[in-house]
Structure 1
Amino acid sequence: MAPPSRRFSDSTFLHLWASALGTIFVAFGVNAIARPAHALTFFEWDLPSASSEHRKVVEGLMIVYGARDVFMGLAIYAAAWYRATRALGWIVIAGSGVAYVDGIACYLAGKGEWNHWGYAPMLTVVGALLAGVLDRA
């Protein structure tokens, strides 16, 4: 009797790597909520200083941004915990899409895009591997 085949996407290393990525998302999210001015440095942007109204809007948007990142991290944790490998892969791929879009926003603002585009392909690859692109039938 042949041993059961193991799918590449079931790799413990990939699941741990995805969990580490989830931790990064959670950390960025908590930072954005707790320290909006510092979180803007990842975009190479500054808080507006001319108007307290504008500053409040940007700080509020950073809380929204932080909640988004925390959600992505927790979604990754949940899928990894329950070993929902394909769902985990697609969540990580969706996270890469967020990183690409964050980079586009920075590019349109004139700088900071590589702070996001530098790691987005890694998310895409890890997500695709978890989604099963290298699994055998």
Structure 2
Amino acid sequence: MASSILHSQSPILQHSAAVFAFFPALVGAVGLFFPRLVLAGAFEFEMPASPKDQKLVDSLMRLFCVRDLFLGGVALAAWYNEDQKTLGAIMLLGAGVVFTDGAVNKHQTGRGAWKHWTFVPVMAGIGAGLLGWLDGLVAA
């Protein structure tokens, strides 16, 4: 039963990837309008004191959130078009993005990396499954 979930043609893998695509899309959408919410919530970064620096941080967070919207949107487009190979590659690349987010979080605040890193093996597993890398594990 579990082995069919790992197969590259499994609709469960494809739909799981779509569910994971909603996370960056949602964070991106919220962050465009409320960049400080993402800054404090997802990264636990402190807001600088000066208004000029606050404006810069708000702008940088909006750029970051557009990246998240793109990542979620392109994954959802691949899912919608039933292109599991592209969706698998996007999941693997997304796992790299999430890993880097956690590393930056840890470097800046000394904590919070696991808020991001928890998703890395799941996204990598979904990506590997969609790319067919786990098909050999499936019993014939």
Normalised to the residue count of structure 1, the TM-score between the two structures is: 0.89
Is 1:118–2:106 an aligned residue pair?
no
State the aligned residue count: 129
Query: Where does residue 93 of structure 1 map in the other structure?
Result: 92
Q: Which residue of structure 2 aligns with residue 54 of structure 1? A: 53
Match of 2:37 in 1: 38
Contact 1:37 1:46 in 2 (8 A): no
Could you list the runs of 5+ residues in structure 2 that have no partner in the other structure?
A: 1-5
| 2:92 corresponds to 1:104 | no
On the 8 A contact 1:93/1:127 being kept in 2, the answer is yes
Is the 1:80–1:88 contact (alpha carbons within 8 Å) kept by the matching residues of 2? Answer: yes
Q: Percent identity?
A: 33
How far does the alpha carbon of each residue in 1:26-52 deviate from its partner, in whole angstroms, 9 at most, with x for none? 10111111111110121111222x211
Deviation at 1:113, TM superposition (A): 0.9
Contact 1:93-1:124 at 8 Å conserved across structures: yes
1:83 equivalenced with 2:82 (yes/no): yes
Whole-Å separation in 1 of the counterparts to 2:46 and 2:12: 38
Structure 2 letter corresponding to 1:68:
R
- Corresponding position: 1:74 with 2:73: yes
Correspondence for 1:133: 133
Amino acid at match of 1:42: A
Q: Distance in 1 between matches of 2:9 and 2:46?
A: 42
Deviations 1:58-80 (A, max 9, x none): 10011111100110111111111
Q: CA deviation at 1:83?
A: 1.3
CA distance in 1, matches of 2:132, 2:107: 34
Please identify runs of 4+ aligned residues in structure 1 that moved more than 6 A: none
In 1: Cα distance, 2:60 partner to 2:118 partner: 23
